[in-house]
Structure 1
Amino acid sequence: MTTDIADSVAGPLDGIRVIDLSTVVMGPYAAQILGDLGADVIKIESPADAVRVGHYRTTPGMTPLNLNVNRNKRSVSLNLKDATERESALRLVETADVLITNMRPGALKRLGLSYEDIAARNPGLVYAHAQGFRSDSDRAGNAAYDETVQAASGLVDIADRALGEPVYLPTIIGDKVSSLTIAYSVLAALLHRDRTGAGQLVEIPMTDTLIAFNLVEHLAGHTYEPELGPTGFPLSMTKGHRAVRTKDGLACVIPYNPQNFRDFFTAAGRPDLAEDPRVCGEAIDGADHEALAALIDVCAPALTTAEWVDVCAEHSIPMAPVLELDRAHEDRYVRDGRLLDSVEHPTEGTIRTIGIPVRFSVTPGTIRRLAPVAGQDTAEVLAELDAAR
């Protein structure tokens, strides 16, 4: 079954214009979030954008990644190295409330698109600049990709210590956490502008963002001076901290308190373990996490995943079946929440689009436009610009 694209609905950011002058995922995903919330997002791009390179279904440039980060936008193709087309881009920025870019500072300066250049023409603009490293650091001009940020932020160290191998997390977490940070930072700056009339430069360094993200729990014993213990959140660093195999699949079963453990062991047919001194106190000792995780692993195959769902719900034990991504569109929770919907794309035919996870009771976010072909809205947007003169 396919779902129709929503008619124009005024979302919470209706009336806000965003210029997306960014590439790949970090900036475009942030701009898409703002578009989902009702903003008019205009993407200034080149067909050579990396997100448009790769496997595609029917139309050149319409890759899955592009379809997943560029909906609710209008695409305008402009060559910023051409003086006339660059001036068109600057005129568009003059009409905007927000500019998002991840171009390197040197390139922005050469093109006359630095914050100082833009603020002179639009002092109320919120200028969100995302890059790999802080602009005042000795790494400011360094190239950065998600893997380099995972390394520079300590995430690889966490993986090495927990798993015994310095692996990268198999998702572009640095890009996506930074996208969310861009989105909430832009909203805060817009609120300030509404109160004062003043725009500002908002810098979002990926590495700094992920360091702060990682250290929330992993600063641990180093929170204090002198240190009371090592870094690393003990439960997360436990070797057995992983999903378990049930009788027929995989599930996350995480007993957190002594009663959880006793109920879990009893349901697994191991009442002897329910009397183990390690689960009979007022709290679980951190030193016992690894041994207890091994026991969970041993006991989980006693029941099917569905049986564990019922047992854990009855006893308030944290639990979730492992979602198989290949079958996500069949999952009832995903389907009922419309987290994946089939829609008709103008050039790609029937595609699956990712739903909007946040719900507003009065001003819901909507999917009003699917990802455009590069430059398809150039004439329309520039005509509007000329009409406004």
Structure 2
Amino acid sequence: MSGPLEGIRVIDLTSVAMGPYATQIMGDMGADVVKIESRDGDVFRHAGPARHAGMGAPFLNFNRNKRSVVLDLKSPDDAASLRALVKDADVFVSNVRPKSMARLGLDDAALRALNPRLVYCGAYGFSEQGRYAGRPAFDDIIQAMSGIAAIQANATTGEPAYVNTIIADKTAGLTIAWAVAMALYERERSGLGQAIEVPMFETLVGFGMMEHLAGRTFDPPEGPMGYERLLSSARRPYRTQDGFIALLPYTTAQWQRFFRLAGRPEVAEDPRYMEPAQRSRNIHTLYGMLADLVAERSTAQWLALLAEADIPHSEVLSMDAVMADPHLHEAGMVQSHQHPTEGALTGLGIATRFSRTPGSIRRLAPTLGQDAMADIAAEWSVSVGC
């Protein structure tokens, strides 16, 4: 077996990041993923840098282990071809708005009438159950609406800020992947597929607010919202004499070891900082002391001391340094590939490991329309017939 989803057929009618990330995970785990694109292709094809038009770096990194078929779904013939393929599919993932899918005759009810075992996943900006249904959404918009931008606010100015990764898209993509896997597991017992809705807004609210509900967890509230430790203005990478380190003593024993090796043994015995409940109330002061003490030594000195004391820490690595990290190379997370049209590429490996059915990278990202719908339909139909 090439992966835990070997034999699963996925029709991928998604673009940009949320859906493609999810279907790439399915492909990595052995699923046969057919990406349906318009004649213009996925928007991410045109995001640079690129060696050739339509093969931008973001597209390459979100679309391995897929085949590409070009269809005009407004064409009755092309739409009919897609519906025919659905009869032999296991999963259909779309981030097209539901009203548009209904007009095309590709909504959940229509496709599951053709194939009752189909798992149909609609990935949208907002749930169809609320007033925002159908609104357009992109990562920045969802970060702002979900509270993430406010959580990231500058501690001095209060100005909101975006997380510098498409966290809404990728969090929703991960959710699509596990939701589809759960639906496939349930299908093994019931024999029936079902519809899944994964909305970015609600998904990111659930993801971002769990620890930040804080006092609002209780009714009436027992305090304001916000996990105080994370929102401390002093929580940041700490400046050393010649750089920065990340440092997080967490348990009482770790805090005590830190203050002793930093030459402040009296703090290690102070109940204001060593008793867990009081430490939480004094976290701003504690982190301030941490910053002052770290500035007294070099990065190399701190790395040696903290390793010896078994206190959680790290250098602050640049993006280039991350890609050079020896552990990641040993774990197979940085890989070299030879793409048929794009030449030598550096890519990311598969982090999740299965002992019997490991995932694999069998195909690199496809050129636009490199596969023929007729060939795929014949292959799937023959396979089903067998």
Task: Report TM bin, short chain.
Answer: over 0.9
Residues 144, 113 of structure 1: CA spacing in aligned structure 2 closer, same or farther, 3 A cutoff? same
| Amino acid in the other structure paired with 1:149 | I
Of 90, 99, 106, the match for 2:99 = 106
Q: Does the 8 A contact of 1:44 with 1:78 survive in 2?
A: yes
Residues 362, 309 of structure 1: CA spacing in aligned structure 2 closer, same or farther, 3 A cutoff? farther
CA distance in 2 between counterparts of 1:283 and 1:168 reads: 31
Tell me whether 1:182 sits opposite 2:176 in the alignment. yes
Tell me whether 1:166 sits opposite 2:151 in the alignment. no
Of 346, 353, 356, the match for 2:347 = 353
| Amino acid in the other structure paired with 1:248 | D
Of 71, 80, 93, the match for 1:78 = 71
Tell me whether 1:33 sits opposite 2:33 in the alignment. no
2:143 corresponds to which residue? 150
| Amino acid in the other structure paired with 2:21 | Y
Tell me whether 1:42 sits opposite 2:37 in the alignment. no
Tell me whether 1:54 sits opposite 2:65 in the alignment. no
CA distance in 2 between counterparts of 1:153 and 1:384 reads: 43
Kindly state the Cα deviation for residue 311 of structure 1 after the two structures are TM-superposed.
2.9
Tell me whether 1:384 sits opposite 2:379 in the alignment. yes
CA distance in 2 between counterparts of 1:251 and 1:282 reads: 24
Kindly state the Cα deviation for residue 276 of structure 1 after the two structures are TM-superposed.
4.6
Kindly state the Cα deviation for residue 330 of structure 1 after the two structures are TM-superposed.
1.3
| Amino acid in the other structure paired with 1:112 | G
CA distance in 1 between counterparts of 2:333 and 2:297 reads: 29
CA distance in 1 between counterparts of 2:274 and 2:4 reads: 50
1:126 corresponds to which residue? 119
Residues 30, 129 of structure 1: CA spacing in aligned structure 2 closer, same or farther, 3 A cutoff? same
Q: Structure 1: give runs of 5+ residues left out of the alignment.
A: 1-8
Where 1:259 maps in the other structure, the secondary structure is helix
Kindly state the Cα deviation for residue 325 of structure 1 after the two structures are TM-superposed.
0.5
1:11 corresponds to which residue? 3
Identify which range, 245-254 or 344-353, moves more after superposition: 245-254
Residues 67, 296 of structure 1: CA spacing in aligned structure 2 closer, same or farther, 3 A cutoff? same
Tell me the TM-score normalised to structure 1 length.
0.92
Residues 306, 97 of structure 1: CA spacing in aligned structure 2 closer, same or farther, 3 A cutoff? farther
Kindly state the Cα deviation for residue 156 of structure 1 after the two structures are TM-superposed.
2.0
Kindly state the Cα deviation for residue 157 of structure 1 after the two structures are TM-superposed.
2.4
CA distance in 2 between counterparts of 1:187 and 1:381 reads: 23
Q: Deviations over 1:221-255 (max 9, x none)?
A: 11111111111111011111111123333221011
Kindly state the Cα deviation for residue 172 of structure 1 after the two structures are TM-superposed.
0.8
Residues 206, 162 of structure 1: CA spacing in aligned structure 2 closer, same or farther, 3 A cutoff? farther
Residues 316, 175 of structure 1: CA spacing in aligned structure 2 closer, same or farther, 3 A cutoff? same
2:359 corresponds to which residue? 365
Of 226, 229, 249, the match for 1:232 = 226
Q: Deviations over 1:267-299 (max 9, x none)?
A: 234445445553344555222111111111111
| Amino acid in the other structure paired with 1:153 | S
Tell me whether 1:92 sits opposite 2:90 in the alignment. no
Where 1:160 maps in the other structure, the secondary structure is coil
| Amino acid in the other structure paired with 1:44 | I
Where 1:76 maps in the other structure, the secondary structure is strand
Q: Structure 2: give runs of 5+ residues left out of the alignment.
A: none
Q: Does the 8 A contact of 1:257 with 1:284 survive in 2?
A: no
Equivalent residue pairs, number: 381
Kindly state the Cα deviation for residue 190 of structure 1 after the two structures are TM-superposed.
0.4
| Amino acid in the other structure paired with 1:358 | T
Identify the structure with bigger relative contact order (alpha carbons < 8 Å, sequence gap 6+): 1
Where 1:112 maps in the other structure, the secondary structure is coil
CA distance in 2 between counterparts of 1:208 and 1:352 reads: 34
CA distance in 2 between counterparts of 1:317 and 1:283 reads: 20
CA distance in 2 between counterparts of 1:66 and 1:76 reads: 15
CA distance in 2 between counterparts of 1:365 and 1:306 reads: 38
CA distance in 1 between counterparts of 2:296 and 2:370 reads: 57
Where 1:181 maps in the other structure, the secondary structure is helix
Q: Deviations over 1:311-367 (max 9, x none)?
A: 333333222222210222211122222212121111111111111111111111111
Tell me the TM-score normalised to structure 2 length.
0.93
Q: Deviations over 1:130-167 (max 9, x none)?
A: 10111021110110111111122111222237562111
2:187 corresponds to which residue? 193
CA distance in 1 between counterparts of 2:132 and 2:212 reads: 24
Q: Does the 8 A contact of 1:340 with 1:352 survive in 2?
A: yes
Of 279, 284, 289, the match for 1:285 = 279
| Amino acid in the other structure paired with 1:126 | V
